[in-house]
Amino acid sequence: MALHALNPGTLLSEYRIIKLLGEGGFGLTYLALDTHLDKNVAIKEYMPSDFAVRQEGNTISPKSAGSQNDYDWGLKAFINEAKILAKFDDINIVRVNRFFEANGTAYLVMEYCEGGCLSDRFSPEKPMQEVQVQEFLGPIMNGLQLVHEAGVLHRDIKPDNIMFRSDGTPVLIDFGAARQAIGAKSRSITTIVTAGYAPIEQYSTKGKIGPWTDIYALAAVAYACLTGTRPEDATDRIIDDTVEPLVSNANDSNFLKALDVGLEVKPEERPQDLGTWYNSWESDKGKNKDYSQLNGLIEMAGADEIITPAEMAMILKQAKNLGLNVVKARDYVVTEALKNNWVLERIKEGSVGNNVVSEEKVVSEKPDIKINHGDSTDGMSISKSAVLLVVIILLVVGVALKNDLSNQEKNKMAEQKVTKEKVYKQGTSNKNTHRLWVTTSPSNASVTLLDVKPKYKPGVKVPAMSQRIRVKASGYQTLITGVDLRSEDRRIHIDLKRNEKKSKQSTSNKNTHRLWVSTSPSYASVTLLDVKPKYKPGVIVPAISQRIRVKASGYQTITTGVDLRTKDRRIHIDLKRNK
């Protein structure tokens, strides 16, 4: 236990510290028990050792008055990291349970992944096989693609930051926002980067970072798993690159070739986005998946001829739920948008703190063209009067062009204004209206606005207040619900429940769903109580509410229901210890 760490048994709100899991330049991570829910959690404590110290008791404070600004600045970066993590609801991104401030510092409460970290799964004596690396790297890339779509970079990918749940699911943890901010203040480069996994651009404040930065780190992680040792530090590779390529002959896999490219020292020689990189190493398996399943969501998002970053994230999340590859799904969405001449909005730089991916760029960037005019004394001399005449002519032409361009711009703006004003005229003031889009399951359900006159259609303008809608479809239960449109446009999805009919349970493909159950402890047994098949991960059962029993020696047995009427389900059960 580090001298500046909290002692085992210390209470932080309802959390009791069990032990220290790890420490870095800006914080400590503990294993703790949630005494309310009786389950283990991971807690990260803001504790920048460069300019903070723990006083008697548990309070943390700056080392000196001169460190106060740096301490406060780092605390803001730590809080920003908590917000970044909390915004992602993805199976391969660590789940944030809570954030709170106490003892002069801040704490981030996250799920505890009982399967350990990636660094425990390989060694120089026992490296991993290629297929094992692909099994965890693919899901991590899918999760990271959603992060990049939101304009955020991880910037600290390494084996210690890839954890596993008890069911084997890989999870990406510990984003580097606070780490980068504090490292910049302390001017300690070892605080900012992890040797072997950080690319060269992270060693300089002038380095241009982007998705290619995370790609290098992912490739370095894969390299370490396959060889048992991490690559050399990027600064050493600049001088003398002794990293042996993974590809040794022409018959080696595309995966190994892609890893070598991802490990290129120069940023411009690496793939510039995850989609491009993944496509270069994807195996033939799964290439022909049907991405047209996304067409309904894409059409809804493009109803106003604009696909926003939030809409793109929504589509990609659904793609992942359908088992589609996220990076290929994004390419499919872009293709459909271009086909329909829709606008793809980009994330603006600076919108999510220090971890933002700048996407203020066109799809294909043209290189700057530099023209060398030579020395001004070369060629024939020109009289002053001739020069003056040329200047006057250029000024006249320039004014004329400026006026012409100004008129063109005004006309263009007027056309855009007319185009926007003619979309869904509802006779209400622009300042006091918002738009509403509703998608439904089943897709043929009808939507009715109950509080205003206009009939519903995607993107309908309605007064900026709470609106009631009715959604109904034959064979399903009608639903009436409210939608809060007071402050912004809304896009919602409604799942209708089927009318319940008393009939014999059938296991035909049309009336079945799959069930996955993970448990804590991981060795607990799962029993299906209402159907014959024994439980196994992904078991096919009738599409009804099913009862399951979960039990393990030394723990209280649980019997609970799982609603499988409308979709496959993945659930986690935490058993309580016998008192």
Question: What are the domain boundaries of the chain?
Answer: 11-111, 430-495, 509-574
Question: What confidence score (pLDDT) does residue 213 get?
Answer: 94
| pLDDT tens digits along 49-97 | 778 888 877 899 888 888 888 888 888 888 887 887 787 878 899 988 8
Residue 365: Cβ-neighbour burial (10 angstroms; 0-12, 13-18, 19+): exposed
**11-111: which CATH topology?**
Phosphorylase Kinase; domain 1 (3.30.200)
Question: What confidence score (pLDDT) does residue 302 get?
Answer: 82
Question: If pLDDT is split at 50, 70 and 90, which confidence band does 349 have?
Answer: very low
Q: Is the pLDDT of residue 537 over 70?
A: yes
Q: Is the pLDDT of residue 265 over 50?
A: yes
Q: Is the pLDDT of residue 285 over 50?
A: no
**DSSP character for 496?**
P
Q: Give the residue, 396 or 479, on which the prediction is more confident.
A: 479
Maximum average pLDDT range among 154-163, 406-415, 427-436: 154-163
Tokens of 257: 């070739």
Q: Give the residue, 341 or 393, on which the prediction is more confident.
A: 341
Residue in this structure with the two tokens 């490219």, named with its chain if needed: 261
Tokens of 508: 């035909």
Q: Is the pLDDT of residue 284 over 80?
A: no
Q: What does the pLDDT average to over 479-488?
A: 77
Q: Is the pLDDT of residue 110 over 80?
A: yes
H/E stretch holding 256: helix 254-262
End-to-end CA distance of the chain: 29
Q: Is the pLDDT of residue 160 over 50?
A: yes
**509-574: which CATH topology?**
Immunoglobulin-like (2.60.40)
Question: If pLDDT is split at 50, 70 and 90, which confidence band does 230 have?
Answer: very high
Sign of torsion over alpha carbons 391, 392, 395, 396: negative
Q: Is the pLDDT of residue 316 over 50?
A: yes
Q: Is the pLDDT of residue 512 over 60?
A: yes
| pLDDT tens digits along 355-397 | 444 333 333 333 332 323 333 333 333 344 454 555 555 555 5
Lowest mean pLDDT among 191-195, 358-362, 481-485: 358-362
**CA-CA distance, 440 to 437, in Å (whole number)?**
10
Q: Which residues contact 16 (CB under 8 A, 6 or more apart)?
A: 9, 10, 32, 33, 35
| pLDDT tens digits along 4-50 | 789 999 999 999 999 998 887 678 999 999 999 899 999 999 988 77
Q: What does the pLDDT average to over 233-249?
A: 91
Beta bridge mates, 171: 163
| pLDDT tens digits along 9-19 | 999 999 999 99
H/E stretch holding 297: helix 295-301
Pair 32, 21: CB distance under 8 Å: no
Q: Which CATH architecture has domain 430-495?
A: Sandwich (2.60)
Q: Give the residue, 159 or 495, on which the prediction is more confident.
A: 159
The answer to whether domain 11-111 and domain 509-574 are alike in fold is no
**CA-CA distance, 461 to 427, in Å (whole number)?**
9
